[in-house]
């Protein structure tokens, strides 16, 4: 028998509408499930059952009156630590920062509250969001529900783990180099890193995007109709557009004649694991068998581009840490300190040259994708790595070797999704990245939805360890 915490947002809303499910009963089941998982996963921050129950009771009353306040009324949702919620501190995953209550909801939080979603909890992240792991000086170590010895990825670490484990159907993370897609890939869930500005965020930054993290495409589409509403606080926010986010049809029929690029070599960084390569190739073949035209692509990201972005971000973090007291700085994760400190030897000319690599990456990515409707690739060259490691290389001087497939689409501002396409021999999920032309977020969702229909049955979601 399906439990309430296993239901999608669409299924919950249908149950609320027919009065066969209560928002209170749904939340209580989710909370019970979280209680079984959380000692093992450590995915949440500010988990407040009573506050969530109060929201659920209000939602229940609205549904009983036949007057839901928005399209997500009563559906449990989590938000990443770095998405501000009014009255709550936003530690950014680090013990170094003072815990100052946020003055207002950030745009994603504001839109979800307006839509009636029940804020279950915030989710964990590594220090400053600068790791693809769940290692943090503030939060407990987050783990992957598929294999507790592995990390969930990052920096949306807790969100990825929570979505895979069934902490309700809806979760929101952020991404500046792969922080949505990497945990989605390693936790077997779906995410969309939208076009820059599609989902307003505060503060905005080059390449930074918020996005939905769900078990399937349909729930992500539900979230997009809420999250994509404009917000003046984001100077990069796109104007309102009448996009029918739930128009996921015609599904597989849409594949006929689509030109898809297949990128199996990122050009630099870690080599693609044979199991990952095989899973992505098999996914591409399924799409080709359904009528798409799949063509191999040459790599376009260079070592100079990847290192340049790394060096610039090192200097940015180095300057940020110069504002900390000695006591505060000592609390930062040692790996992050070592990485940031390495920028101290960079001169002005080197930092300038590093800064130019963001635009170089943008130009190369747009040029490489220009001849295709969509581009297929691995999300990450490897499957999930040991939970205790800050990065796959465990080397602060080689921190970005695993993001060569993802970071180009942050710089080019193109939408890119991760959808599960297979499993390793040890049972770890493998993500297929689908990138589209700038602003074609709906098209990426539609292609991902078509692939969901083609990929066949998935393995059961992981269950909490027996007591």
**Does 311 lie in the same domain as 208?**
no
One domain, residues 195 and 283: no
Q: Are residues 303 and 221 in the same domain?
A: no
Residue 296 sits in the same domain as residue 420:
yes
Which CATH number goes with the domain that contains 442? 3.90.1300.10
**Is there a single domain that holds both residue 208 and residue 332?**
no
Which 3 state secondary structure label does DSSP give 114? helix
Same domain, 223 and 266: no
281: CB partners within 8 A, 6+ apart: 262, 264
Q: Which runs of E-coded beta strand occur in 359-401?
A: 374-378
> Helix 303-321 crosses helix 348-369 at what angle (to 10 degrees)?
130
Each residue's pLDDT, cut to its tens digit, for the chain (467 residues) gives 689 999 999 999 999 999 999 999 999 999 999 999 999 999 999 999 999 999 999 999 999 999 999 999 999 999 999 999 999 999 999 999 999 999 999 999 999 999 999 999 999 999 999 999 999 999 999 999 999 999 999 999 999 999 999 999 999 999 999 999 999 999 999 999 999 999 999 999 999 999 999 999 999 999 999 999 999 999 999 998 999 999 998 778 889 999 999 999 999 999 999 999 999 999 999 999 999 999 999 999 999 999 999 999 999 999 999 999 999 999 999 999 999 999 999 999 999 999 999 999 999 999 999 999 999 999 999 999 999 999 999 999 999 999 999 999 999 999 999 999 999 999 999 999 999 999 999 999 999 999 999 998 999 999 999 88
Distance CA 149, CA 151 (A): 7
| Burial class (CB within 10 angstroms; exposed 0-12, middle 13-18, buried 19+) of 274 | exposed
| 410 within a domain of the structure (yes/no) | yes
Instruction: Identify the residue whose tokens are 């591409």.
Output: 284
Tell me phi and psi for residue 211, to 5 degrees: -160, 160
Q: Which two tokens stand for residue 128?
A: 């400053």
**211 and 282 together in one domain:** no
Residues 271 and 222 in one domain: no
Structural domains counted in the chain: 2
Q: What CA–CA distance (Å, rounded) separates 275 from 64?
A: 50
Whether residue 237 is contained in a domain is answered as no
Please identify every residue annotated as catalytic.
80, 155, 179
Q: What is the DSSP letter of 20?
A: S
Of the residues 227, 243, 276, which one is the last residue of a structural domain?
Answer: 227
- Domain-terminating residue out of 205, 227, 249: 227
Measured in degrees and rounded to the nearest 5, phi and psi for residue 336 equal -65, -40
Query: Does a structural domain hold residue 107?
Result: yes
One domain, residues 350 and 422: yes
Q: List, for residues 447-460, the tens digit of each pLDDT value.
A: 999 999 999 899 99
Last residue of a domain, one of 227, 243, 274: 227
Q: Would 241 be classed as within a structural domain?
A: no
Q: Residue 245 domain-assigned?
A: no
In a domain, 72, yes or no: yes
The sign of the torsion formed by the CA atoms of 78, 80, 81, 83 equals negative
Q: Are residues 344 and 268 in the same domain?
A: yes
Clarify whether residues 116 and 199 are in a common domain. yes
Structural tokens at position 78: 């989590």
User: Same structural domain for residues 72 and 200?
Assistant: yes
Residue 446 maps to a domain: yes
The answer to whether position 362 is within a domain reads: yes
Domain of residue 408 covers 260-454
């Amino acid at each position: 028998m399906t439990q309430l915490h296993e239901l999608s947002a669409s299924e919950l809303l249908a149950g609320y509408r027919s009065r066969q499910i209560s928002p209170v009963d749904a939340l209580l089941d989710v909370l019970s499930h979280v209680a079984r998982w959380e000692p093992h996963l450590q995915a949440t921050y500010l988990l407040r059952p009573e506050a969530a129950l109060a929201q659920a009771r209000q939602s229940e009353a609205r549904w009983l009156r036949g007057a839901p306040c928005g399209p997500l009324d009563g559906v449990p949702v989590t938000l990443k630590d770095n998405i501000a919620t009014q009255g709550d501190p936003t530690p950014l995953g680090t013990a170094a920062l003072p815990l100052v209550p946020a003055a207002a909801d950030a745009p994603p939080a504001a839109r979800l509250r307006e839509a009636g979603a029940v804020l279950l909890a915030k989710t964990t992240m590594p220090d400053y969001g600068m790791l693809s792991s769940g290692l943090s000086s503030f939060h407990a170590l987050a783990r992957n529900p598929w294999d507790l010895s592995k990390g969930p990825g990052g920096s949306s670490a807790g969100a990825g783990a929570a979505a895979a484990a069934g902490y309700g159907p809806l979760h929101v993370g952020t991404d500046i180099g792969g922080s949505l897609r990497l945990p989605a890939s390693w936790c077997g869930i779906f995410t969309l890193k939208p076009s820059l500005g599609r989902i307003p965020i505060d503060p905005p930054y080059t390449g930074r995007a918020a996005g939905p993290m769900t078990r399937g495409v349909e729930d992500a589409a539900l979230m997009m109709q809420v999250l994509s509403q404009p917000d003046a606080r984001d100077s990069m926010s796109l104007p309102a557009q009448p996009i029918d986010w739930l128009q996921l049809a015609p599904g597989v029929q849409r594949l006929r004649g689509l030109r898809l690029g297949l990128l199996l070599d990122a050009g630099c960084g870690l080599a693609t694991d044979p199991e990952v390569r095989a899973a992505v190739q098999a996914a591409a073949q399924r799409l080709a068998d359904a009528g798409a035209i799949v063509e191999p692509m040459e790599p376009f990201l260079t070592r100079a581009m990847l290192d340049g972005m790394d060096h610039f971000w090192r200097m940015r973090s180095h300057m940020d840490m110069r504002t900390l007291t000695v006591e505060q700085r000592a609390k930062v994760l040692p790996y992050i300190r070592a990485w940031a400190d390495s920028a101290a030897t960079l001169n002005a000319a080197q930092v300038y040259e590093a800064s130019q690599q963001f635009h170089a990456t943008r130009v190369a990515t747009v040029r490489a994708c220009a001849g295709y409707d969509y581009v297929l690739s691995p999300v990450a060259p490897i499957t999930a790595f040991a939970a205790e490691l800050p990065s796959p290389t465990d080397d602060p001087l080689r921190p970005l070797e695993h993001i060569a497939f993802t970071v180009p689409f942050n710089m080019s501002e193109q939408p890119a999704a991760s959808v599960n396409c297979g499993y390793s021999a040890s049972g770890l999920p493998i993500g297929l990245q689908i990138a589209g032309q700038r602003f074609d977020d709906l098209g990426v969702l539609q292609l991902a939805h078509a692939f969901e229909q083609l990929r066949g049955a998935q393995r059961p979601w992981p269950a909490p360890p027996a007591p």
